Amino acid sequence: MHRLYLVPTLLINVVIIFIPAMLTIALAFCRWDGIGVPTYVGLANFRALATDRVFWMALGNNVIWTAIFLTIPIAMGLLAATMMLVARRGSAFFQVVYFLPVVIATAITARVWQGMIYSPLTGVAGLITRAGFPVPNPLTLPSTALYGIAAVDLWHWWGFLCVIFFAALRQVPQEQIEAARIEGASFWQMLRYVLIPGIRPTITLMMIMTIIWSFLVFDFVYILTQGGPAFSSEVLSTLAYRSAFYDLAVGKAAAVAVVISLFGLATTAVYIRLQAKELDQ
Amino acid sequence: MDRRTFLVGGLGASLVPLMNRFAFAAGQPVSWWYESAAPAQQAAIADVLVGGFNAAHPEYSLAVDYRGSELDKQMRVALLSGNGPDVVYTAGPSYVAPMARAGQLLALDDYAKKYGWNERILPVFLEMGRYDGKLYAVPKTYETLGLFYNKAVLAKNGWKVPATLAELEALADEALKAKLVPFASGNAGWRGNNEHYVTIVFNSIAGPDNVYKALKGELPWTAEPFVTAIDRLNSWWQKGYFGPDYFSLETEQFFAQMAAGRSPMLPSGTWHFQYIQSYFKDNADDCGFVGFPSADGLGDPVYALGVGSTLSIAAASQNPDGAAAAIDYVFSPEFYSKMNSVWQGEWNTPLEDLSMVKISSEVPALYAESMKALADAVGDNKYGYTSWTFLPPATNTQLINGIEEVWLGRATVADYLGQIDAAFREELADGKVPAVPNR
């Protein structure tokens, strides 16, 4: 009888996740313009992706994006959270300040950075340039466009990690921290031997989620550059979006979506394995 | 609140969405989804389109719903599920054929006969809305590309309006020396702006006859005329004609750049007429517009023909007669006069006879003159082809995005045109190339 309680959530999952997921997988093997009737084409969409240089550029950009978000915001979040733990005064204020960008809608954050920071006409970059120190708009150069977008997302994202890590750090037994202090541990020793091991499950979960989210990144890229200039900031999700809604190649878009999901699945499998290992210990 | 009140209130609230269907007193509802429009433009639609139509047709009640830049995607999903509005607004002729093939649109031939559209609309546009011998769409507006220029900047520097490509390049070089950006341009707000420049060189340098042959599949896009055209466009980019901030500027920003005198010229489409009064303010006469100069041997400027959006009726429409009446209203000289008096460039319906049209004296005469020049070019069969009207979707995406690779040195002209040709061949084989009227 108690299993009936699962029905509502199961139903929601089947309707909202399982059926669309299955349809997407099926469409990846079809040619479809999003309007007429799909026709089965086997692996043609995947073969086309394998020879599509834009697909490989997008995949490479997703890997770079993942590397950036696995290091910089996690390091920044950890450092700021630890400092808030050590120097408790004002920690509530800093938590609010760090978390504030997370609650601003991504579209607004992106437009603010585009217009008020990066723009050569209306932004800080333009102001500095007019003062005699030329600062290019990073979004307009193929070599920096992806990093320019990543900087906006980092500003928006790292506060979230900071607050999560701070909440986890507060669960580290106080006696361990006190003991380390009495033993004369420095800040870095405390971080390395007490705090990080104490919140390792949280860090692992955040890293896993970072990998999954990095392969899903879309909003900032689409608003700031639409994948340009010259495909330099194209990622898999913008490629899928463009294929589905501009090229009317829904089958190809579905194939890209399947590739994105494969990375998410692989990461989830690693996480489940790690969790199982921890439980065994 | 007791339980009964709650239930009655809840039931009443749940019926609100159905009220529209049973609004007998206000006439049979006709729904129309529109893209984004600024507040002043929405006021024009409410007054001229909705107000005008409902007053002329009390038996119907037209309602316009703004869906923003995602209209096209929402429309496709809605039609796929058998829903959506009565009046179907598509992003251009290339979307009409797949929708008609999927049975989502109603054939308009009977309405065309009833309302006399075949006599009132320029025949070329009716050809573009046909699929499998039947009429499925009529264009909401047609447009062309040309060269806007700032008369005050030209006069101040003693420059002449360019009539040839050599004069255009000489003027641009002089502008560079004067620390001006020769072409006010940008694509930060709409990456598709790239295609305006490719379309210009395809028509004004490669020539409309070659574009026509390529659209018919008789000439590859890698042919020499197209190579010459893209080479020339690339040379303009490399010389800095488009300025250092091309990827940073949005449409209104670069129009303001020309109005402020920081650029002498702006090569783009007639929809920019809507910005003249906002940015030139009391000096609206300082804004000039001419056809883009053509390469030697092509003669007069080529007006590339563009249809940015089309109107159809949904096959699942509950009120196709009302939708047809609304479309017919848009093709009246009265509507053309009123709408183009307050909003230029977006409602240039392809009327065969413009003699009954009376546009407000507050609108720069330049607008009416330019539209007449385009109508004459279409009437004389001397028009060119815009990419967004005549190319199939994936080819057009390649044309838009690939040109950035050429400009930024990440692809050669041959690679770029080769990719366009490959995408076009595939879509031609799939029957995705829009109807191209005979030349």
For chain A, list the domains and their CATH numbers.
2-280 (1.10.3720.10)
Give B356's DSSP letter: T
CB contact under 8 A, B76 and A139: no
**Does position B14 have pLDDT exceeding 90, yes or no?**
no
Per the prediction, chain A carries an average pLDDT of 93
B64: nearest Cα among B22, B30, B24:
B30
Mean pLDDT of B200-214: 97
- The answer to whether A63 touches A211, Cβ cutoff 8 Å, is no
Closest to B99 (Cβ–Cβ): which among A35, A245, A249? A35
Q: Does any CB of chain B come closer than 8 Å to the CB of residue A27?
A: no
Q: How far apart are the CA of A147 and the nearest CA of chain B, in angstroms?
A: 16
Residue B284's pLDDT is what?
87
How many cross-chain Cβ pairs, A to B, lie less than 8 Å apart?
A: 70
B410: chain A residues, CB-CB within 8 Å: 142, 230
Tokens 């689409």 belong to A222
Q: Does any CB of chain B come closer than 8 Å to the CB of residue A36?
A: yes
| Surface-to-core class of residue B221, CB atoms within 10 Å of its CB (0-12 exposed, 13-18 middle, 19+ buried) | buried
Q: Which residues contact B75 (CB under 8 A, 6 or more apart)?
A: B33, B67, B84, B85, B88, B89, B90
B305: nearest Cα among B351, B374, B352:
B374
Residue B12's pLDDT is what?
53
- Which two tokens mark B78? 């809605």
Q: Give the pLDDT band of residue B46 (cuts 50, 70, 90).
A: very high
For residue B256, the chain A residue with the least C-alpha distance is: A121
Mean pLDDT of B391-401: 93
Lowest average pLDDT, out of B1-10, B65-74, B177-186, B348-357, goes to B1-10
A34: chain B residues, CB-CB within 8 Å: 76, 80
CB contact under 8 A, B73 and A245: yes
For residues A161 and A158, give the distance between their C-alpha atoms in angstroms, rounded to a whole number.
5
Q: Give the pLDDT band of residue B439 (cuts 50, 70, 90).
A: confident
Alpha helix (H) residue ranges in A14-130:
19-27, 44-50, 53-86, 91-103, 106-112, 124-130
B288: nearest Cα among B184, B154, B418:
B154
Instruction: Name the residue type at position B134.
Output: K
**Does position B1 have pLDDT exceeding 90, yes or no?**
no
Angle at the Cα of A121 from the Cα atoms of A116 and A127, rounded to 5 degrees: 70
**Is cis: bond before B139, omega within 30 of 0?**
no
Radius of gyration, alpha carbons of chain B: 23
Q: Give the pLDDT band of residue B339 (cuts 50, 70, 90).
A: very high
**Does position B26 have pLDDT exceeding 80, yes or no?**
no
Residue B377's pLDDT is what?
81
Closest to A242 (Cβ–Cβ): which among B76, B104, B397? B397
CB contact under 8 A, A248 and B394: yes
Q: Give the pLDDT band of residue B11 (cuts 50, 70, 90).
A: low
For residues A210 and A221, give the distance between their C-alpha atoms in angstroms, rounded to a whole number.
16
Lowest average pLDDT, out of A70-74, A88-92, B322-326, B399-403, goes to A88-92
CB contact under 8 A, A248 and B407: no
Mean pLDDT of A199-214: 93
- Give the three-class secondary structure for B183: strand
CB contact under 8 A, A35 and B248: no
- Give the three-class secondary structure for B63: strand
- Which two tokens mark B301? 């400027």
For residues B204 and B367, give the distance between their C-alpha atoms in angstroms, rounded to a whole number.
21
Q: How far apart are the CA of B401 and the nearest CA of chain A, in angstroms?
A: 6
For residues B197 and B204, give the distance between their C-alpha atoms in angstroms, rounded to a whole number.
10
Closest to A230 (Cβ–Cβ): which among B249, B405, B432? B405
Residue B20's pLDDT is what?
47
Q: Which residues contact B191 (CB under 8 A, 6 or more apart)?
A: A226, A228, B400, B401
> pLDDT tens digits for A119-149?
999 999 999 999 999 999 999 999 999 999 9
For residues B265 and B157, give the distance between their C-alpha atoms in angstroms, rounded to a whole number.
13
Residue B431's pLDDT is what?
83
Using the CB atoms, write b or e for B274-300: b if 16+ within 10 Å. Answer: bbbeebbeeebebbbbbbbbbbeebee
Q: How far apart are the CA of B381 and the nearest CA of chain A, in angstroms?
A: 30
A37: chain B residues, CB-CB within 8 Å: 102
- Give the three-class secondary structure for A86: helix
Mean pLDDT of B402-406: 97
> pLDDT tens digits for B240-269?
999 999 999 999 999 999 999 999 999 999
For residue B404, the chain A residue with the least C-alpha distance is: A230
**Does position B9 have pLDDT exceeding 80, yes or no?**
no
Q: β-strands B60-66, B303-313: how paired?
A: unpaired
**Is the pTM here over 0.80, yes or no?**
yes
B393: chain A residues, CB-CB within 8 Å: 246-248
Provide the β-strand partners of residue B266: B148
Residue B3's pLDDT is what?
55
Q: Does any CB of chain B come closer than 8 Å to the CB of residue A33?
A: yes
Lowest average pLDDT, out of A12-21, B299-308, B328-337, goes to B299-308
For residue A142, the chain B residue with the least C-alpha distance is: B408
Tell me if ipTM is over 0.90. Answer: no
Mean pLDDT of B209-233: 97
Q: Which of B90, B254, B401 to mutate to test the interface with A (most CBs of A within 10 A)?
A: B401
- The answer to whether A160 touches A102, Cβ cutoff 8 Å, is yes
> pLDDT tens digits for B121-139?
988 889 889 888 999 999 9
For chain B, list the domains and their CATH numbers.
23-143+306-379 (3.40.190.10), 145-304+382-429 (3.40.190.10)
B287: nearest Cα among B426, B136, B150:
B150
Residue B22's pLDDT is what?
45
Using CA atoms of B194, B200, B202, B205 in order, give the dihedral in degrees to the nearest 10. Answer: -140
B248: chain A residues, CB-CB within 8 Å: 118-121, 137, 139-140
For residue A137, the chain B residue with the least C-alpha distance is: B248
Using CA atoms of A38, A41, A43, A48 in order, give the dihedral in degrees to the nearest 10. Answer: -90
Q: β-strands B134-135, B130-131: how paired?
A: antiparallel
For residues A40 and A33, give the distance between their C-alpha atoms in angstroms, rounded to a whole number.
13
B249: chain A residues, CB-CB within 8 Å: 121
